[in-house]
Amino acid sequence: MSPTNPIENALADLLRRIEPVAHELGDLFAKHGHELALVGGPVRDVLLGRSGADLDFTTDAHPERVLEIVRDWGDAIWTIGIDFGTVGVRKGDWQLEITTYRSESYDPKSRKPEVAYGDTLEADLARRDFAVNAMAVRLPGREFVDPYGGLADLARKVLRTPGTPEQSFDDDPLRMLRAARFASQLGFTVDPDAVRAMTEMAGRIEIVSAERIQAELDKLICGAHPREGLTILVETGLADHVLPELPKLRLEIDEHHRHKDVYEHTLIVLDQAIAQEVGGPDRVLRWAALLHDIGKPKTRRNEPGNRVSFHHHEVVGAQMTKRRLTALRFPKEVTSDVARLVELHLRFHGYGTGEWTDSAVRRYVRDADHLLDRLHKLTRADCTTRNKRKAAALARTYDQLEERIAKLAEEEELAKIRPELDGNEIQEILGIPPGPMIGRAYKFLLDLRMDEGILGKDVARARLLEWAATQ
């Protein structure tokens, strides 16, 4: 392949950058009588001007044969995906996945794809999710292969299946979520025929495991355009099956009548949270922004004067968040952090218009703990009023709160606040063994510290004895 046009230039540059991998691996497979091609995401991304350290290859060699070929060549080898025809290899800084030509489909009663090996590159590309991922470069000959018009789809920024979308989504229903995920990551639109098939087949997604669904949703929410991906999920009905709390927000008018519905408000909050990120996507902040109001449908009440209230929706929402993220098999720490932010997202508004006592500031910081910076961002993002004067007043009030936090942090090391007496000292002063009473005493002293600041151990001891006498 001689670099005579922009496409060939881009691919030639990619192959130069991944030497010696491309040249050595292509020659190695050819020497052993097998085909090899760079395929999928790496080809797509280089044509989009993107790059990464992960490379995908496909071959006619079966996995056991692949292991024989790369055993002495790779720096490290792993076989975690070998049941699905994939062998992992590390070569220098490159992470490679070499997968046997294949086709896969789901049995209607099974959550696991059935894998069958194929014989040709073209047939393997036919089973790929979208045409933009069905392009390849044969190695070592460097022949560009694009049998399903992926290059044209890249130019149009559209996601279209190589074959009929019905067959593609029936073979692997997760591809419906991938359409939404790629829309988020790449900013592409989904072909109308694919959207129609997704809408008709949305229920088929329930055959896919929670872990695979979680991985796609997480990539979607961390994409460059999550609003586009979420809109696809809601409009096709896929969200009803994988994130049902989201479409339910469309019917809930918020109590200030500032927006068409809480669903649109939620997307704006997500946008405004993302705008505050530094150093890349913050999955905890983004999930908290997306789920912060999911408790509203369950807490909606009609009030006098044609008003609507959602009392304690943050508490209910935190419980719902835990259930949903747990069902999706999110890590415990992510689930806990997102739920805590949902629970705390209204705390700022509970302190009026800025009359924050030192005690209130201490409690705010203590309750937020390591999530304080994210809580700042979520609280600011949750201001979506179109009233510029009101928005400016809220921003000023929060500015004042952050100034108070910074001032007290200097004076008292807020993040490290503890009672002035530890558990051992409490036991010694009260003359009691470990048990529930020690925990209650500890909480009393912590509240005392929060409310009144540093009193000194002598005063803390006297107050503890006064408290104990009433128990």
What's the DSSP call for residue 428?
H
Same domain as 116, residue 32: yes
Radius of gyration of the chain (CA): 28
pLDDT over 60 (residue 4): no
- Distance from the Cα of residue 212 to its chain's centroid: 13
Q: Mark which of 192, 220, 243 sits at the end of a domain.
A: 243
Taking the C-alpha atoms of residue 209 and residue 111, their distance in angstroms, rounded to an integer, is 6
| Burial status of residue 253 (CB atoms within 10 A of its CB: 0-12, 13-18, 19 or more) | middle
Same domain as 321, residue 208: no
Q: Mark which of 156, 181, 208 sits at the end of a domain.
A: 156
CB 137 within 8 A of CB 37: yes
Q: pTM of the full predicted structure?
A: 0.82
When the pLDDT of each residue in the chain is averaged and rounded to a whole number, the result is 88
List own/partner pairs for 226-229 with CB under 8 A and 24 or more apart.
226/184, 226/270, 226/274, 226/286, 227/267, 227/270, 227/271, 228/183, 228/184, 228/187, 229/180, 229/181, 229/183, 229/184, 229/185
pLDDT over 80 (residue 110): no
Q: Sign of the CA dihedral 422, 428, 433, 435? A: negative
Which of these ranges, 202-206, 227-231, 246-250, 422-426, has the smallest mean pLDDT?
A: 422-426
Task: List, for residues 308-352, the tens digit of each pLDDT value.
Answer: 778 889 999 999 999 999 999 999 999 999 999 999 999 888 666
269 in a structural domain: no
Taking the C-alpha atoms of residue 255 and residue 316, their distance in angstroms, rounded to an integer, is 17
Q: Which residue has the higher pLDDT, 335 or 440?
A: 335
Task: List, for residues 32-58, the tens digit of each pLDDT value.
Answer: 999 999 998 889 988 888 777 789 999
pLDDT at residue 109, as a whole number? 65
| Dihedral over alpha carbons 7, 41, 54, 66 (to 10 degrees) | -100
Domain count, the chain: 4
pLDDT at residue 306, as a whole number? 74
Cα atoms in the Cβ-side hemisphere of radius 13 Å centred on 178: 19
The percentage of the chain sitting over the pLDDT mark of 70, rounded to a whole number, equals 92
Taking the C-alpha atoms of residue 299 and residue 292, their distance in angstroms, rounded to an integer, is 13
Check which CATH number belongs to the domain holding 104 and give it.
3.30.460.10
pLDDT over 70 (residue 383): yes
Check which CATH number belongs to the domain holding 192 and give it.
1.10.110.30
259 in a structural domain: no
Q: Mark which of 105, 137, 156 sits at the end of a domain.
A: 156
Same domain as 334, residue 206: no
pLDDT over 50 (residue 460): yes
CB 314 within 8 A of CB 346: yes
Contacts of 183 (CB under 8 A, 6+ apart): 159, 189, 190, 225, 228, 229, 232
Same domain as 341, residue 323: yes
**259 — pLDDT class (breaks 50, 70, 90):** very low
Taking the C-alpha atoms of residue 165 and residue 173, their distance in angstroms, rounded to an integer, is 10
Q: Which residue has the higher pLDDT, 445 or 354?
A: 445
Taking the C-alpha atoms of residue 294 and residue 262, their distance in angstroms, rounded to an integer, is 9
Same domain as 105, residue 182: no
Q: Is the peptide bond before 281 cis (omega within 30 degrees of 0)?
A: no
**Domain around 427:** 418-469
- What tokens were used for 371? 């999530």
